Amino acid sequence: PHTDIVFLKVHKSASSTVMNILFRFGERHHLTFAFPLGGGYQLFYPNHFLARFVQGFSPGAPRRFNILCHHMRFLRPEVQKVVPSSAVYFSILRNPVQLMESSFMYYKGASAFSHVRSLEEFLTEPHRYYNPASGDSHYARNLMTFDFGFNPNGEVSPERVQLMLKAIEASFDFLLISEYFDESMVLLKERLCWDLDSVVSFPLNSRDSSTKSPLPESIVEKIKAWNRLDWEIYTHFNRTFWERIDRDIGRERLEREVKALRERQAELARTCLQGMGSVAPKDIKDSSLRPLQHGSARILGYNLRQGLDKDTEHTCRRLVTPELQYSSALYKLQFAPKTP
């Protein structure tokens, strides 16, 4: 199994769920993580990543870490300083239409969104509200382009788009697609030579459906036009994702693997969860399992079944621990003061 991994955690793209998978794998195999300095949760995002943002890195004696997966703005030459040269690089993308809608709900306080009542109002005259110079403008336009390290306000010429796609292809071994999450997990398992249980997950940091509503076609087209660079990235890598599936796995085997994955997840849900599924924040009984609430979104969580034996409880708890709590626990484990 591959143990050296760089995961570019793109915002609002099921990336917290992928991060949980990496946390669990790393913890189980006693791997090291490239944590933000001081145990923070982002690598000084939205600045471009620098090796010195990592706790325990020093240029004099560069230390290599197994897994780099916290939020960062990608900059490959700096990333290469903190991970082994054998590291596998991957990320996950989301349809820019849903991504923008989610971003609007989650980052409602961001300067571009704070003076409008709705996404529709913002898209009617985006330049009236959007100021590229403001520090949080990246949440409002071409967020994936930004996370990959490019200029979200760059011109959309065919040449520039090609350069951007080629640069991503040169840096990343594969990209997953959040709309096909289970299929993506099968590809991840295949590429990293992991077993089924390593890629099993419950959705984390997901939003209560009461705050979601379908977008009218007119809005969809405006979102695509406003996030044209993201749209180019998404459509290109959605196509290459399926080409890779056909080449490396095949549709029949994919179907069998997805079925096995879903059956295992259902089995774990029966074992681990009270009521089989996610619950509203107010209904989460164990405060240590309550995810951070942000913007206008209501972020769901889970309740564990009572009376589980110690090992099962540990497995189940890890599956539903929100990223901030899990990250803190792993940081303490990795940088625990050595006993004399």
Q: What is the pLDDT of residues 236-250, one digit of tens each?
A: 999 999 999 999 999
SS3 203: coil
| 324 vs 87: CA distance, rounded Å | 24
Distances (CA, A) of 26 to 31, 33, 64, 320: 5, 8, 14, 16
Looking at every residue in the chain, the average pLDDT score rounds to 94
Under the banding of pLDDT at 50, 70 and 90, the label for residue 221 is: very high
pLDDT band at 211 (very low <50, low <70, confident <90, very high): low
Structure confidence at residue 275 (pLDDT): 84
User: In percent, how much of the chain has pLDDT > 70?
Assistant: 98
* Gap between the Cα atoms of 11 and 13, Å rounded: 6
**Which positions ≥6 away from 337 have C-beta within 8 Å?**
none
Q: Give the model's pLDDT for residue 63.
A: 86
CA-to-CA separations, 214 to 32, 101, 188, 211, 218, in angstroms, rounded: 42, 10, 30, 10, 12
46 preceded by cis ω (within 30°)?
yes
Binning pLDDT at 50, 70 and 90, where does residue 205 land?
confident
What does the pLDDT look like over 140-170, one tens digit per residue? Answer: 999 999 999 999 999 999 999 999 999 999 9
For residue 214, pLDDT beyond 70 = yes
Q: pLDDT tens-digit profile of 120-143?
A: 999 999 999 999 999 999 999 999
Q: What is the pTM of this model?
A: 0.95
Residue ranges and CATH numbers for the domains of the chain are 5-333 (3.40.50)
Would the pLDDT of 194 be above 90?
Answer: yes
Instruction: Give the pLDDT confidence score for residue 276 in this predicted structure.
Output: 67
pLDDT of residue 299: 84
At 266 the pLDDT is 95
Least confident of 238-247, 289-298, 302-311: 289-298
More confident position, 110 or 339: 110
**Residue range 38-77, pLDDT digits in tens:** 999 999 999 999 999 999 999 988 889 999 999 999 999 9
Q: What DSSP element (H or E) covers 177?
A: strand 174-177
Q: What is the mean pLDDT of residues 249-274?
A: 97
Torsion angle (degrees, nearest 10) of CA 101, 74, 236, 112 = 30
Residue 9 near residue 43, CB atoms below 8 Å: no
161, 163, 168, 171 alpha-carbon torsion, rounded to 10° = 180
Q: What is the mean pLDDT of residues 214-228?
A: 94
Between CA 2 and CA 4 the distance in angstroms is 6
pLDDT, residue 210, reads: 65
